[in-house]
Amino acid sequence: MNAQDFVIENNVLTAYTGTASVVTVPDGVTAIGEKAFFMNRDIRHVVLPESVTEIGCLAFANDSHLQGVKLPAGLKKIDTEAFARARILWDIPIPDGVTEIGTGAFQGCENLTEISIPESAVECGSWMFSGCVNIQSAGPLGGPYDLTFPWKGKLPDHAFSGLSGMREIVLPEELKSIPKYAFYDCSALTHIRIPDGVEEIRDGAFFGCVGLKEIILPASVKIIYPKAFRYCYDLEKVIIPKDTYVCEDAFKGCRKLEITNL
């Protein structure tokens, strides 16, 4: 690995032209630019210096042999699809202090089995982990789950969309809303407990959750929006509070469904 392998402009690494399997980015680089390592077929491990605060859009996307990345403690932003489709990536701890994780940041990382979103991450895009088929459980920080998250009263839209291997999800007790398309296409999910205090099930929240069998909604739920449970083919039983308003199309395509009102 030679210094001339790195193209650096104004402290931003814009391209890497080398063929090393282990790459240590030079000190002083403050950002990994858009597509800097895009579609690289040689790199297996990357070490970023403490000076890096941002990883740009598609920076490591489609890197077919990338297995691990050491992220610096001062990192603040992981941009859109930064690691998307790095299919054998499995080791990438996100440091405390990261404030933004972009849309599809880890989309299609099929080998990823464990990841934790830090409490500092106040901006999280949709489809972050879509296609991460080996993440099988999710729950609040500190729990024994494959994916842990800091969210309490509010989840981001599309928070778990596309996690087709997820079988278990533990929702925070403080939650007030199941947001739009939160569990879209979570096809392995067979059951879920909706905490007391949740007031609404938003559009498409469980769209395409074909493995769900039964849903018991707490008395706090005031409204179920359109498409909330659309195409949940195996959903057999839903218990709904008598005062809950159910929008048209909320359960379209649920062929086995029996609805019971409390």
Mean pLDDT of 64-83: 97
- On the question of pLDDT at 85 being above 80, the answer is yes
pLDDT of residue 262: 60
Instruction: Tell me the mean pLDDT in the region 43-51.
Output: 97
Q: How confident is the model at residue 103 (pLDDT cuts 50, 70, 90)?
A: very high
Res 14: pLDDT: 98
Q: What is the pLDDT of residue 10?
A: 97
Q: Is 42's pLDDT higher than 90?
A: yes
Residue 57 vs residue 162, higher pLDDT = 57
pLDDT over 80 at 172, yes or no: yes
Write down the pLDDT at residue 256: 86
The predicted structure's pLDDT at residue 1: 63
Model confidence pLDDT, tens digit, residues 108-166: 999 999 999 999 999 998 889 998 999 999 999 999 999 999 998 888 888 899 999 99
Report residue 261's pLDDT band, with 50, 70 and 90 as the boundaries: confident
CA–CA distances in Å: residue 240 to residues 98, 201, 204, 257: 39, 12, 17, 13
pLDDT band at 224 (very low <50, low <70, confident <90, very high): very high
d(CA 156, CA 161): 11
User: Does the pLDDT at position 106 exceed 80?
Assistant: yes
